[in-house]
Amino acid sequence: MTSSFNPTPRTLMGPGPSDVHPRVLSALGLPTIGHLDPEFVSMMDEVKSLLQYAFQTKNELTIPVSAPGSAGMETCFVNMIEPGDKVVVCQNGVFGGRMKENVERLGGIAIMVEDEWGKPVDPQKVEDTLKANTDARAVAFVHAETSTGAASDIKNLCEIAHKHDCVTIVDTVTSLAGSELRVDDWGADAVYSGTQKCLSCTPGLSPVTMSERAVEIIKNRKTRVQSWFLDLNLVMGYWGSGKRTYHHTAPINALYALHESLLMLQQEGLENAWQRHMNNHLALRAGLEAMGLEFIVEEKFRLPQLNSVTIPQGVDEAQVRTRLLKEFNLEIGAGLGTLAGKVWRIGLMGYSSRAENIMLCLSALEAILSEIRADINTGVAIAAAQKQLGA
């Protein structure tokens, strides 16, 4: 007989979801009210302006799509691109490949710019590709590659794209609230994110923001958006500032949670949140390196919120993750795609980015690894991290 589900509380240090703050979980469980209730409609407006703060944008069309990050990605592509359009897609990990799928499924043409996994997108390659494809309409790239832990210079990439009369589609799923992101200053046009990474909210929603230029494109399409559910022309009517037009029933409670997590971000201050992610990354890094583990991403491109380290030879990486989960209720992430079996991905995102999580992760990893390999440096990781935390 099935019974109520009672999950074992875990510490989430994988690539997302991250730990959700008790305040956010409490908000999630508040009584459901109607999606047309005036109180709910006011809250929607607050969510919009809190999201504008998180994205550092004044874009009027800044909303959470009522589905996970991959639906946010699809929202950007199906609204911005029409069949036959050429899109330069940069791939340096899993998610560039998904962008290509999106372009092709809507009848667009994807021109790929490939970089090694773990490296940032190379701006020179993008520039060369745009010179060779003067009819390209858009450039798409990932700010923070969740599959590798590498950051790309989206400010520079946006400048190059605009110089060649292209709009930009930018994945900020793992960067939003975790590392510097300035949508307006950097000129990103169609931007999507997720709630379960550095916002430390539950998974299921995808914040999206569209520049004026992007909105013009959406309003002046020659063809209808292929998806009814994701058509921003309709969604705008629902989230707009005038009379609301019923589109779908908003995920009420999930939006309570997002509201609370965005409020916590505002209370902490965005720059402070970025700094916290960096400080904690440096402490974790000090500990991991003291233990003898190596980062796969070159220092200047490393994401503070996602730490990819190589697995020591002779270590069964899946077994280590299973033991971390069973013995310490600690989740870290496996490698994805070409990095499967080669790296661990240790997340320090949102509420997971805390000193106590660093201590747990380092001590648990040291305890297990030192049983398997004699050459793991023991007794030094904690001190190294603590020293860095105090720095």
How far apart, in whole angstroms, are the C-alpha atoms of residue 341 and residue 5? 31
Residue 2 touching a second copy (CB under 8 A) = yes
- The first and second tokens of residue 14, run together, are 């994988």
Residue 14 touching a second copy (CB under 8 A) = yes
Which CB, 9 or 390, lies closer to a second copy? 9
Which CB, 40 or 156, lies closer to a second copy? 40
- The first and second tokens of residue 77, run together, are 């592509």
To a second copy, the closest distance from the beta carbon of 380 in angstroms equals 29
CB 63 within 8 A of CB 192: no
SS3 100: helix
Residue 335 touching a second copy (CB under 8 A) = no
To a second copy, the closest distance from the beta carbon of 74 in angstroms equals 5
Among positions 240-279, residues that touch a second copy (CB under 8 A) are 246-254, 256-257, 259-260, 263, 266
Which CB, 94 or 389, lies closer to a second copy? 94
DSSP state of 5: -
To a second copy, the closest distance from the beta carbon of 379 in angstroms equals 30
Among positions 191-230, residues that touch a second copy (CB under 8 A) are 194, 196, 202-204, 224-229
Q: Tell me which of 51, 214, 265, 336 binds a second copy, using CB under 8 A.
A: 336
To a second copy, the closest distance from the beta carbon of 249 in angstroms equals 4
Q: Where are the alpha helices (DSSP H) in the chain?
A: 22-28, 38-55, 69-80, 94-105, 123-132, 154-163, 183-186, 212-219, 232-239, 252-268, 270-291, 317-328, 355-372, 381-390
Among positions 298-317, residues that touch a second copy (CB under 8 A) are none
CB 74 within 8 A of CB 227: yes
Give the other-Cβ count within 10 Å of 109's Cβ.
18
Nearest residue to 334 via CA among 106, 120, 3, 15: 15
To a second copy, the closest distance from the beta carbon of 176 in angstroms equals 15
Residue 41 touching a second copy (CB under 8 A) = no
Among positions 166-195, residues that touch a second copy (CB under 8 A) are 194
CB 365 within 8 A of CB 358: no
To a second copy, the closest distance from the beta carbon of 342 in angstroms equals 16
CB 198 within 8 A of CB 62: no
To a second copy, the closest distance from the beta carbon of 89 in angstroms equals 13
Which CB, 111 or 234, lies closer to a second copy? 234
Q: Tell me which of 5, 300, 313, 356 binds a second copy, using CB under 8 A.
A: 5
Q: Tell me which of 26, 233, 245, 319 binds a second copy, using CB under 8 A.
A: 26
Rg from Cα positions in the chain: 21
CB 341 within 8 A of CB 317: yes
Among positions 91-150, residues that touch a second copy (CB under 8 A) are 98, 101-102, 104-106
How far apart, in whole angstroms, are the C-alpha atoms of residue 361 and residue 287? 10
In sequence order, what are the residues at sequence separation of 6 or more whose Cβ sits closer than 8 angstroms to the Cβ of residue 215? Answer: 60, 61
Which CB, 28 or 183, lies closer to a second copy? 28
Binding mask 45-74 for a second copy (x = CB under 8 A): -x--xx---------------xxxxxx-xx
To a second copy, the closest distance from the beta carbon of 149 in angstroms equals 17
To a second copy, the closest distance from the beta carbon of 191 in angstroms equals 17
- The first and second tokens of residue 139, run together, are 């450039």
Residue 25 touching a second copy (CB under 8 A) = yes
To a second copy, the closest distance from the beta carbon of 47 in angstroms equals 9
CB 63 within 8 A of CB 208: yes
Binding mask 349-368 for a second copy (x = CB under 8 A): --------------------
How far apart, in whole angstroms, are the C-alpha atoms of residue 117 and residue 377? 28
- The first and second tokens of residue 276, run together, are 């916290």
- The first and second tokens of residue 278, run together, are 């960096």
Which CB, 85 or 122, lies closer to a second copy? 85
